[in-house]
A and B are shown apart, each in its own frame.
Chain A
């Protein structure tokens, strides 16, 4: 059993780039398939039918960042040079998390429901509207992470990283409450699987940091 674990670690170490592209590729494919056979296949294609898939893929790719990071630590892989997967998927996530609400808001404005946040309540009602607002707050927190280029060495930066975890949780709640694929298709199992593994990676990384990093 221990040998099998070591074999796996060695394989991941030797094929790390392949492993991260596989993880990202699989999670993206599952999200797209769930949408294609769900919202994407009902009625005429429109921005309101397209925008959910951007959210699904973005969540999956952000999940892959946590998972790949955990795999790296677990396998002891040391990177030489730039991580193309991380750079490409991070750029894609940024585009997707911006497009997801932008497409929704364009549709709501076109439908004469006005601007957010009142348009959210007009379209989704008094309860669901709050879950759209929750997604918007999480988006702002995700965008804050983009400041890491300038501030990641600051002492307070760890709070932005903690906020990302809260935002991921908020997005999970947002998607579970409002999403169609996340609650009414085979993707529900994948969705909850992503949440559980995400929780596992947070616990693993918290324990890893405690054991290996000096106190910040």
Chain B
């Protein structure tokens, strides 16, 4: 009886640990795929830039410069859209310091163009995103405050 119990325990434990490792492997694989898609997007953008004779239809489309406002309750809006090459202004209208950063917390490596220095209350800073994609961001100092910046062509 005890031997059977032991066997059951080992089977359950093995299945659980295998499932955990499976999740980790899946996420690692997905990340690699996302990274390769991002590289492809960037390459395509560079190709477009190298071919000025191609119709520049999307240069007039997409959003104009945007302002991301940070308040004591977090980012005023969660989702922003801007065209690549347009300016994004980040305003700290809160009473605390803000360190606007790309995901993931705390490494900020998803899209490093988004990473800004610490902004004191009342300060603002700008950056110009060039890479197309949906980039999640957060305040590094209060990482519960998050948002998404979608950069279109």
Interface residues of A (CB under 8 A from B): 42-50, 54, 81-82, 84, 87-88, 91-92, 95-96, 99, 103, 107-108, 110-111, 113, 123-124, 180, 183-184
A-B contacts, 29 of them at CB < 8 A, read A43-B104, A43-B110, A43-B136, A43-B146, A44-B30, A44-B34, A44-B103, A45-B27, A46-B103, A47-B24, A47-B28, A48-B105, A48-B106, A50-B23, A50-B27, A81-B2, A81-B5, A82-B2, A82-B6, A84-B9, A87-B13, A88-B12, A88-B13, A91-B17, A95-B17, A107-B104, A110-B107, A111-B107, A180-B144
What string of 1s and 0s marks CB contacts (under 8 Å) between B130-148 and chain A?
Answer: 0000001010000110101
What string of 1s and 0s marks CB contacts (under 8 Å) between B118-135 and chain A?
Answer: 000000000000000000
Residues from 1 to 55 in B contacting A, C-beta threshold 8 Å: 1-2, 5-6, 8-9, 12-13, 16-17, 20, 23-24, 27-28, 30-31, 34
Write the chain B residue with the least CB distance to A50: B27
Name the A residues within 8 Å of B61 (CB-CB). none
Name the A residues within 8 Å of B8 (CB-CB). 84
The complex places the Cα of A177 from the Cα of B112 at a distance, in Å, of: 26
Name the B residues within 8 Å of A95 (CB-CB). 16-17, 20
Residue count of chain B within 8 Å CB distance of chain A: 32
Docked-complex contact B104 and A49, CB < 8 angstroms: yes
Name the A residues within 8 Å of B106 (CB-CB). 48, 123-124
The complex places the Cα of A48 from the Cα of B136 at a distance, in Å, of: 13
Question: Which of A46, A50, A81, A87 has the largest number of chain B CB atoms within 10 A?
Answer: A46
The complex places the Cα of A171 from the Cα of B148 at a distance, in Å, of: 31
Other contacts beyond A42-B138, A180-B143: 4, CB < 8 A: A46-B27, A46-B104, A82-B5, A95-B17
Write the chain A residue with the least CB distance to B138: A42
Docked-complex contact B110 and A44, CB < 8 angstroms: yes
Interface residues of B (CB under 8 A from A): 1-2, 5-6, 8-9, 12-13, 16-17, 20, 23-24, 27-28, 30-31, 34, 103-110, 136, 138, 143-144, 146, 148
Shortest distance from the beta carbon of A50 to any chain B beta carbon, whole Å: 6
Question: Which of B9, B23, B138, B148 has the largest number of chain A CB atoms within 10 A?
Answer: B9
The complex places the Cα of A45 from the Cα of B106 at a distance, in Å, of: 14
Shortest distance from the beta carbon of B37 to any chain A beta carbon, whole Å: 11
Name the A residues within 8 Å of B24 (CB-CB). 47, 50, 99, 103
Write the chain A residue with the least CB distance to B15: A88
The complex places the Cα of A113 from the Cα of B2 at a distance, in Å, of: 48
Name the A residues within 8 Å of B28 (CB-CB). 47
Name the B residues within 8 Å of A110 (CB-CB). 107, 109
Identify the 8 closest CB pairs spanning chains A and B, nearest first. A43-B136, A111-B107, A48-B104, A184-B144, A123-B106, A91-B13, A82-B5, A87-B9
Question: Which of A48, A84, A95, A110 has the largest number of chain B CB atoms within 10 A?
Answer: A48
The complex places the Cα of A43 from the Cα of B148 at a distance, in Å, of: 8
Name the A residues within 8 Å of B138 (CB-CB). 42
Given contacts A99-B24, A183-B144, A184-B144, contact A46 B31 (CB under 8 A): yes
Docked-complex contact B107 and A99, CB < 8 angstroms: no
Docked-complex contact A113 and B12, CB < 8 angstroms: no
